[in-house]
Amino acid sequence: MKHTYRKRWGQNFLQDPNFIRKIIDIAQVESTDVVLEIGPGLGALTSELGKKVSRVIAVEIDPLLIEPLRKNLPANVEVVHQDFMKFDLDQFKDPYTVVGNLPYYITTPILFKVLEHPGWVRSIFMVQKEVADRLFARPGTKDYGRLSVMIQAGAAIQKEFSVPPTVFYPQPSVESTVISMMRRSSLDIDMELFSEIVRLAFGQRRKKLRNTITNYLQNELMIKFGEMRPETLSVEDFVEISTCCNRT
């Protein structure tokens, strides 16, 4: 199909059947699964997913892609024309898997949106290599920040494989990485509070925590963490702060 590629929507479409197959394999989907796909594009992943699972909901922002997608995809694929950031995830009544070769301009907000929703079980995302480095970063490194803490707290994540620019059309200028995430359903924290503390702490990452998350550091917590900067705290430290301050 002839398509006008929209750079502003991060349109780099996968062309290589081997990489498409590898992503579908990693998704480990079964015939009873429900899959949400973010940004189906020309449907490279969507049609393969449609063959394997009971239902696919594919959310695409580009109006020019909707009709061709609806025409070419199997009946168990529902194509929704919407900005994913406005899409209501509460419509999933059962656990679902998320798949997406994510548009690079909006990767972080998409990751946060998925992470905050309690209904997903497993996610497979293709992201820019630099974003993957931030997701997996350890404390004390330059890549370690809000994104690293939020993702590592909310999910068990794994780097699957790298993807070169040559397998896309048009080719992006960067390398990509496929990652998988399993939601930590046993995590016993107030996610909203946790998210607020991490956001405030990294909002001014050169400042000591006594100046940024003052209201959340009472007594022992202030003694333990007050003189520290956020990039030196582990994910477990942030969990400790949010758990303890919730009790006081």
73 neighbors 43 (Cβ within 8 angstroms): yes
> Between residue 178 and residue 237, which ones bind ligand SAM under the rule CB under 6 A?
none
Q: Which is nearer to ligand SAM, 60 or 237 (CB)?
A: 60
Contacts with 59 (C-beta within 8 Å, 6 or more apart), sequence order: 36, 37, 38, 39, 40, 80, 82, 84, 87
Per DSSP bridges, beta strands 34-38 and 96-101 are parallel
Q: Which is nearer to ligand SAM, 41 or 50 (CB)?
A: 41
57 binds ligand SAM (CB under 6 A): no
Kindly tell me which of 82 and 214 has the beta carbon lying closer to ligand SAM.
82
d(CA 145, CA 50): 36
The letter for the amino acid at 210 is: R
Closest separation in Å from C-beta 19 to ligand SAM: 9
d(CA 124, CA 179): 6
39 binds ligand SAM (CB under 6 A): yes
> How many Å apart are CA 39 and CA 19, to the nearest integer?
17
Nearest approach, Cβ of 25 to ligand SAM (angstroms)? 15
Q: Name residues contacting ligand SAM, limited to 97-136 (CB under 6 A).
A: 101, 103, 106
Block residue for tokens 């009709």: 67
- 1 near ligand SAM, judged by CB under 6 A: no
Binding residues vs ligand SAM (CB under 6 A): 9-14, 38-42, 44-45, 59-62, 83-85, 101, 103, 106
